[in-house]
A and B are shown apart, each in its own frame.
Chain A
Amino acid sequence: MATDYADMEMLRFTTAGSVDDGKSTLIGRLLYDSKSILEDQYEAVRVSSERRGESEVNLALLTDGLKAEREQGITIDVAYRYFSTPKRKFIIADTPGHIQYTRNMVTGASTANVALILVDARQGVVEQTRRHAIIASLLQIPHMLVCVNKMDLVEYKEEAYERIRHEFESFASKLDVHDISFVPISALKGDNVVDRSTKMNWYQGPTLMYYLENVHIASDYNFIDCRFPVQYVVRPNTDEFHDYRGYAGRVAGGIFRKGDRVMLLPSGFSSTIAKIDSFDGEVEEAFPPMSVTILLEDDIDISRGDMIVRENNVPTDTQDVEAMVCWFNERPMQLNGKYALRHTTQEMRCVVKDIRYKLDINTLHRNQEDKEIKMNDIARVTLRTTKRIFADAYRKNRITGSLILVDEGTNETVGAGMII
């Protein structure tokens, strides 16, 4: 029993949706059918539902946490939900679907392996569906699962499902998505969610749960290009570890081994990995997303924000960054405005040199006339940084290809960027 969980993997997925599209019902169904809703939680929701005068137990109350959300019956912020099966532990980033909360969708999408996109079988691909798919593609979520929901309301007809599948596929051909799957479900009745539906024999594919348990996520990290942003320098200053100088961090890409010849950025010096250390002893190989401590053979001045890479495979070294930026703040993005910028473990300042276009998040249209970037807008911009930045394209590496912008007056996180 105790060793059963030794091989369990973790999968993060995101959902987006608004009232009535069945998102809360689906999440409630997944939690309930995987026995992740416990009796006291269920009881609390039952009492709340009753107090609100609802005739049935409203599982959506399980997913709405804040007082304002319960009062208004909407999801505002990203909520994280957890459930597990014997194969995997799942983290759901449950986000609102309305355009006014695009920033929350972007936040939830930033760490997801799978985007779960809900389509109402009666309505087909609508604006909100397209928006979710575009965000999933911009944020490079590796896998997309389109759930054609409410199949019970279209009499479980294959034609309804096929029509939506074709509609979505022709739209998705314009997106940067590599792996799309489809599943016809009824979250309300439980068809093809955890248990296979008996009413859709024409569908031979996996159920939603089978997909989540088996989709191949082991290659979601970049194991090719070695990137190790130095996060913290470990210097014990004790008798036992007098000369110990370790570079602690989380592997952002590639596989590091003892004896590897490496290069340090920004200095450009070379050295060899003497040891990869951890509390549990020496590590043979370090790969994403492991947190380790690297020791080098040579005494080189290295500090937080530096990056350890391989000599023959280096990231782009630049002060001019092209990025797609999602704006989070009520105060619009200022052309020529200065912001603090965070990239891997580096911090610097930057200025917005150019706003090239605003992306219409519903149609992918590039608007070059209206360049006022307001909250929830997504724009292609050029940034000039005060220091050299060592970056990869976001498509190649989500860790070394992402950045955030911080307002220097209020300290708020005002934007998130994906480097092109």
Chain B
Amino acid sequence: MNYHLNHLKELESESIFVIREVASQFQNPVILFSGGKDSILLTYLAQKAFYPARIPFPLMHVDTGHNFLETIEYRDQMIAKLGAKLIVASVQEAIDKGAIKEEKGYNASRNALQTHVLLDALEKGKYDAALGGGRRDEEKARAKERFFSHRDEFGQWDPKNQRPELWNLFNGKKQIGEHFRVFPISNWTELDVWQYLHMEKVELPSLYFSHQRECFVRDGVIYADSDFMMKKPEEKVEPMQIRFRTIGDITCTGATRSAANTLDQIVQEVAASRFTERGTRSDDKRSETAMEDRKKQGYF
């Protein structure tokens, strides 16, 4: 027998270790679930970590209200299958209550509003660790992120003053009121994620596969037509053969033209792609340090 794990199995083992460490070191953890492939992977790995027991934490969906229907359907089916508890933190509710104010205009997005709603929900539920599907290869600020990422009582990230993280020794100690963000899949790349989902035959939302959809183009990005986005007069809606490489809020998730409709074809397409997946995310394009700025305030 050959005593080595391939890279996917090694990544899997590392993530499972981190997830079990969360269950051991924290009182009240929660999984942040967006319905995207990374949080699906995270939840799948959590299922593996505690098998045959159930995942000992609830899932939280920070819901902007601007969802793809397919995401919500998938989410509810998955929750039912896992027998897990779902907490929905609603941006719409916070707007209705007057707690936050919505952006206006063509590029209005509820992205920034999520931070407020997320921090509020973490505080209300007294969650001391929030597991997220963030990956270091996604974005330059995320490349500096720890597995166990400390947040102060305001939920802020201080990138210049992070705890050193060595070997597999994670320090989850904190003061009352502080919490941790934990990123078990830090070391996975987009391609690793797809290869693994393919290898494990994980069921995914239909949005990831090629389908025909009413879309329009803005600044070179293809958006799904929805009631949530104002269109400029020159923006024409037409049917296109597309799929999504990432899934988030409908107003900031761009599609790619693609005929890939199996995981095998997606793996091949991602491997050959000359653009990053976040290239279609308008939330990152607001400035050079858009992600770092948002993360400091307490974003995912």
By beta carbon, the residue of chain B nearest A108 is B166
Stretch at the interface among A185-193, A284-292, A360-368, A385-393: A284-292
By beta carbon, the residue of chain B nearest A287 is B3
Decide if B80 is an interface residue (CB 8 Å cutoff). no
Decide if B50 is an interface residue (CB 8 Å cutoff). yes
Closest CB in chain B relative to A288 CB, distance in Å: 8
Decide if B212 is an interface residue (CB 8 Å cutoff). no
Q: Do B53 and A107 touch across chains, with their CB atoms under 8 A apart?
A: no
**Chain A residues positioned under 8 Å from B10 (CB to CB):** 10, 289
Q: Do B49 and A10 touch across chains, with their CB atoms under 8 A apart?
A: no
**Chain B residues positioned under 8 Å from A79 (CB to CB):** 143-144
Closest CB in chain A relative to B287 CB, distance in Å: 10
> A82-B137, A236-B54 given as contacts; is B174 within 8 A of A66 (CB)?
no
Decide if B206 is an interface residue (CB 8 Å cutoff). no
Q: Do B274 and A345 touch across chains, with their CB atoms under 8 A apart?
A: no
- Closest 5 interchain pairs by CB? A65-B140, A411-B173, A236-B53, A279-B48, A110-B166
> A403-B169, A416-B166 given as contacts; is B20 within 8 A of A232 (CB)?
yes
Q: Do A5 and B8 touch across chains, with their CB atoms under 8 A apart?
A: yes
Q: Which residues of B contact A (CB under 8 A)?
A: 1-14, 16-17, 20-21, 23-24, 47-54, 136-137, 140-144, 159-160, 162-169, 171, 173-175, 186-187, 189, 191-192, 195, 198-199, 263-264, 267-268, 273-276, 279, 288-289, 292
Q: Do A411 and B175 touch across chains, with their CB atoms under 8 A apart?
A: yes
Q: Do B275 and A289 touch across chains, with their CB atoms under 8 A apart?
A: no
**Chain B residues positioned under 8 Å from A201 (CB to CB):** none
Stretch at the interface among A35-43, A145-153, A171-179: A35-43
A39 to B273 Cα, complex, angstroms: 9
> A2-B267, A40-B275 given as contacts; is B49 within 8 A of A291 (CB)?
yes
The 23 sampled A-B contact pairs (Cβ below 8 Å) are: A9-B4, A10-B10, A65-B140, A65-B141, A66-B159, A77-B159, A79-B143, A82-B187, A103-B164, A218-B2, A223-B3, A231-B17, A236-B54, A248-B50, A250-B13, A250-B17, A284-B1, A290-B9, A291-B16, A304-B24, A406-B171, A411-B171, A411-B175
A413's contact among B4, B159, B171, B198, by CB below 8 Å, is which? B171
**Chain A residues positioned under 8 Å from B4 (CB to CB):** 9, 218
> A82-B136, A89-B192, A234-B52 given as contacts; is B273 within 8 A of A38 (CB)?
yes
**Chain A residues positioned under 8 Å from B288 (CB to CB):** 44, 48, 70
Q: Do B143 and A9 touch across chains, with their CB atoms under 8 A apart?
A: no
Closest CB in chain A relative to B134 CB, distance in Å: 12
**Chain B residues positioned under 8 Å from A111 (CB to CB):** 166-167
Q: Which residues of A contact B (CB under 8 A)?
A: 1-2, 5-10, 38-41, 44, 48, 62, 64-68, 70, 76-82, 84, 88-89, 91, 103-104, 106-107, 110-111, 218, 223, 231-232, 234-238, 240-241, 244, 248-250, 255, 277-280, 284-285, 287, 289-291, 293, 304, 328, 340, 342-343, 345, 398-399, 402-404, 406, 411-413, 416
B168's contact among A40, A70, A399, A413, by CB below 8 Å, is which? A399
**Chain A residues positioned under 8 Å from B8 (CB to CB):** 5, 8
A244 to B53 Cα, complex, angstroms: 9
In addition to A2-B264, A66-B144, A411-B174, 17 A-B residue pairs with Cβ atoms within 8 Å of each other are A2-B195, A5-B195, A10-B10, A38-B276, A48-B288, A66-B159, A66-B160, A89-B192, A104-B164, A106-B164, A111-B167, A223-B3, A232-B24, A244-B53, A249-B20, A278-B51, A399-B167
> A5-B7, A76-B160, A244-B52 given as contacts; is B169 within 8 A of A40 (CB)?
no
> A250-B168, A291-B17 given as contacts; is B53 within 8 A of A235 (CB)?
yes
**Chain B residues positioned under 8 Å from A402 (CB to CB):** 166-167, 169
B173's contact among A7, A48, A340, by CB below 8 Å, is which? A340
By beta carbon, the residue of chain A nearest B136 is A80
Closest CB in chain A relative to B252 CB, distance in Å: 16
Q: Do A84 and B191 touch across chains, with their CB atoms under 8 A apart?
A: yes
A41 to B8 Cα, complex, angstroms: 25
Closest CB in chain A relative to B69 CB, distance in Å: 29
Q: Do A404 and B160 touch across chains, with their CB atoms under 8 A apart?
A: no
Q: Do A10 and B164 touch across chains, with their CB atoms under 8 A apart?
A: no
> A342-B169, A412-B163 given as contacts; is B191 within 8 A of A232 (CB)?
no
By beta carbon, the residue of chain A nearest B196 is A5
A6 to B54 Cα, complex, angstroms: 29
**Chain A residues positioned under 8 Å from B186 (CB to CB):** 80
A250 to B20 Cα, complex, angstroms: 10
A290 to B142 Cα, complex, angstroms: 26
**Chain B residues positioned under 8 Å from A89 (CB to CB):** 7, 189, 192
A342 to B167 Cα, complex, angstroms: 11
Q: Do B166 and A231 touch across chains, with their CB atoms under 8 A apart?
A: no
Q: Do B279 and A240 touch across chains, with their CB atoms under 8 A apart?
A: no
